[in-house]
Amino acid sequence: MFWLFLALLFSAVARAIAPLPKGLPCGIPFSVTEKRLDIFQGLMNGTIQNHQQGTADLLGHEGGPQPWPRNARNKVVIKYCYDYPSTRENLEQALEYEGFAVWRRAMGGGPSATTGYGFEFSEVKDTGGNPLYCVDGNDWNEKIPKDTIAILMEYQPNSAGSATVGYIHEPGNEQPRQMMMAISMDRQQQTIAHEIGHLLGLHHEHQRPDRDDFVHYRCNKIFGFLFKLDQLRRYIHDPKPPDLCDKILHAWQVEFSGVDFIKGEALGDWRYNPDKTPKSWPVNKADTPYDIKSIMHYPSWNEAVDGCARNRLSYCPLVERLGPGRERWIEDNLEPSKMDVEWVKKTYPWIAPP
């Protein structure tokens, strides 16, 4: 029934808006916001807000996001399509130069035995080399494999981008549009590379279960904190800050952007449990030191209340711990860190063709 509803919603939006929904289901941050109400509806009506979703990942849990599979040649080919020609026109160069090229440079070049990794992104094309688009009329293009990432434009104000995490595959329930990335023209420099990290399976470094040893998180400095805490009264009696700040269901219920800061648990995509609550997954702690330089780590200003600045750290939601009474501003990370690269090479190592 849920899938029928989703299909009808998608079709209705397509007819009413032409072109189709220019936003996407996130598991992502804007970097992405991980609120998965009705993904398409939320992106169209603005209920999904803005933020961007290291070595932290969500992979390996039963039913959860997985690493992308290899083909018969031992290569991991991650397929993608643009929903419309207009999206391709707007995003093709950005996806290459702000995304793929940034990762290739960090990885030391293209996939090979020398660079030590074995994945690549590949746009789906016809036999003549012409791009195929995700949308055919009001429906998914049946010429495109269902496990293809859909690339969409994000048109909501103040948004940057969003993406699902890793490879989503439910045997016996294969559906299109399960993996998506939405990118805004108002994005930050690192947005696309950050979202590609999500697609590969990486999650926010600052959501690692051990993050409190390395950063100070002030949930009450997330923009809209008091308003969202008050909204939570619709779901629980006399809510307290920990109900909103530490419980992913409650943060999701009121669309609190702090959902992308919750320690040890995350929403990697838009799937639901039978009771219509969102599926969530444990954030794996990496076997590497905490990576403040990860492209998956939020900077201090992200989602902050007015007043957050280098000389006013007490107004910032996230700052680096340096010792008793000492904190430091967290910079924007514009490219994958050394540990991001190590994680990717470990997850998708080069394996020679048979």
**pLDDT tens, the chain, 354 aa long:** 333 333 333 333 332 222 322 222 233 333 233 333 333 333 333 333 333 334 687 776 777 789 999 999 999 999 999 999 999 999 999 999 999 999 999 999 999 999 999 999 999 999 999 999 999 988 999 999 999 999 999 877 667 888 999 998 777 667 777 899 999 888 888 999 999 999 999 999 999 999 999 999 999 999 999 999 999 999 999 999 999 999 999 999 999 999 999 999 988 776 778 888 888 888 887 677 899 999 999 999 999 999 999 999 999 999 999 999 899 999 999 999 999 999 999 999 999 999
Phi, psi at 108, each rounded to 5°: 95, 15
| Helix, strand, coil content of the chain in percent (nearest 5) | 30, 20, 55
Judge residue 170's burial from the number of C-beta atoms within 10 Å of its C-beta, 0-12 exposed, 13-18 middle, 19 or more buried.
exposed
> Are 289 and 237 within 8 A, CB to CB?
no
Judge residue 216's burial from the number of C-beta atoms within 10 Å of its C-beta, 0-12 exposed, 13-18 middle, 19 or more buried.
middle
Q: How far is 241 from 64, CA to CA, in rounded Å?
A: 28
> At CB < 8 A and 24+ separation, what contacts does 92-97 make?
94/183, 94/192, 95/151, 95/183, 95/192
Which pTM value belongs to this model?
0.82
Q: How far is 213 from 324, CA to CA, in rounded Å?
A: 12
Phi, psi at 350, each rounded to 5°: -70, 130
